[in-house]
A and B are shown apart, each in its own frame.
Chain A
């Protein structure tokens, strides 16, 4: 079965998602001054960690569903 090839770079919508995540990955949107601590961790750091998890999730999603370029004879190779 010949599959249609998919490359992440060719889908601009994916990169809009990455851009939004990247913008949120930089902590510019927090108030300065004494930070709120949640179990000893500053709230802003927890939010950034949350965005970081979203980045990993999104990468996992893109690899899984938007990356398919191998020829059919190669994709049949077994995994050890």
Chain B
């Protein structure tokens, strides 16, 4: 596809965004040079993120460039049934309400740095901790791979292929690794702020351009009624089950992303956390909602695209709008820069969390307990870079047969949710049952995904979760004992029985 702004201006905007990210990341590091002094400083920004930065880092972590490109295309293809993308992003905040208040409090009190720290403290079980760490690293790795591929496609699309896929990925990955390496969470969060703003501005300009040049929702409604009236219908049967599945799987799954949980730990105060989450509860209207409307409005402009063509819908609309006048030309260049920035901002937080689990939960807990924080951070960073290099090779040479191994993410990650959330409140939770549930749930989710099984229309991840919960709850009732006075999760100020470190 030939874009109106491919070529030089695409390259310039890419360089511009890349350099801004680098400057913000490095600038943040210069102001906080003691960042490598402790795991908390590096991985959690010293637990000092205020409302605005915290909000944007939540925002940029949750919304990637895929949200814009993929969800618009999906809305174009399936129509109003894809409206579920707005409430499911809000469901994530609802799930936070289940655990964020207590999780925040405990993390501050017991110096928890990663979600696995919490599991270790709660269950004191090597099996649970290691399994959870493996599941998280695996899901994060695949999530990162998805972002790397998206960066490459975004850059190649933006520049109309002038900048090859590989060069685009390398350029942004090097920048991301450099600022993440130097400044840790602080650099990531501050660049997230810039990246989030870039995305919001771009998406809004696209919406305005679409309405001005292609017409609003009434016109789109007429077109859809003529070309694919089924896209206006209410989801029924399988469509309704799919809708409910999305609300549950995305709500729970996205809330327990370890990088999302670490943002709870990074809050400066309860007040900043509460404010950021309140703002996040409204963001889906401005992001997923706007993106959905763009997909619907695309009908007026391109009423009859094939599935493959519809994947390019954002690029096609941006290109058509950019041709109209210079202001929209600039706006659309900003949009594409914003999309790439949004992908980078999701990738950077995934990489940082990946490193933190390696530092704290693998190296620091089982390999070299005596290592200094500085050394643990270094090991986490190096392993993170090695993982990125490995994933880049996968991205460029996609395996022919086992590619599904690299697709599993949410389905398997959601299996740590019972341990993390139920573990907070249910004293009777029995470590071996938690482990058995998590392992069985993960295997069921993986096998069902590979085999393409969705019995009763229920997603593989939700099946895994149901079986996981049954084993967890039944096992804990049978073998678990409620601890006596100094339970770790008690809220009355008693000290933990287990030190985290």
User: Are A and B subunits of one complex?
Assistant: yes
Chain A positions within 8 Å of B, measured between CB atoms, are 5, 7-9, 18, 22, 25-28, 30-35, 37, 39-42, 44-45, 48-49, 51-53, 55-56, 59-60, 62-64, 67-71, 74-75, 77, 79-80
Residues of B within 8 A of A67 (CB): 97, 101, 270, 274
The verdict on B333 contacting chain A, using a C-beta distance below 8 Å, is: no
The residues of A that contact B83 with a CB separation of less than 8 Å are: 45, 48-49
Contact B232 A35 (CB under 8 A): yes
Which 4 pairs show the lowest CB-CB distances between chains A and B?
A: A40-B221, A40-B218, A70-B270, A40-B217
Q: Which residue of B lies closest to A40 (CB)?
A: B221
Bound together, the chains give a CA A55 to CA B235 distance in angstroms of 20
Q: By the criterion CB–CB under 8 Å, are B234 and A49 in contact?
A: no
B236 contacts chain A at the CB level, 8 A cutoff: yes
A37 vs B234: C-alpha distance when bound (angstroms):
12
Select which of B86, B98, B272, B285 is within 8 A of A9 by beta carbon.
Answer: B98
CB of B491 within 8 Å of the partner chain: yes
Task: Given A18-B94, A42-B80, A79-B50, decide whether A37 and B87 contact each other with a Cβ distance below 8 A.
Answer: no
Chain B residues 79 to 111 lying within 8 A of chain A, measured CB to CB, are 80, 83, 86-87, 90, 93-94, 97-99, 101-102, 104-105, 108
Q: A31 vs B270: C-alpha distance in the bound complex, in angstroms? A: 45
Q: Which residues of B contact A (CB under 8 A)?
A: 50-52, 80, 83, 86-87, 90, 93-94, 97-99, 101-102, 104-105, 108, 216-222, 225, 229, 232-236, 240, 243-244, 247, 268-272, 274, 277-278, 281-282, 284-285, 425, 491, 493
A75 near B269 with CB under 8 A, answer yes
B286 to chain A, nearest CB (A): 11
Most A CB contacts (10 A, CB to CB) among B233, B234, B268 go to B234
- Contact among B80, B219, B269, B281 for A59, CB-based, below 8 A: B281
Minimal Cβ-Cβ distance residue in A for B274 = A63
A63 touches B98 (CB 8 A): no
* A48 touching B87 in the complex, CB below 8 Å, given contacts A37-B225, A74-B108: yes
Is A74's CB under 8 angstroms from B93's CB? no
User: Which chain A positions have C-beta within 8 A of B235?
Assistant: 27
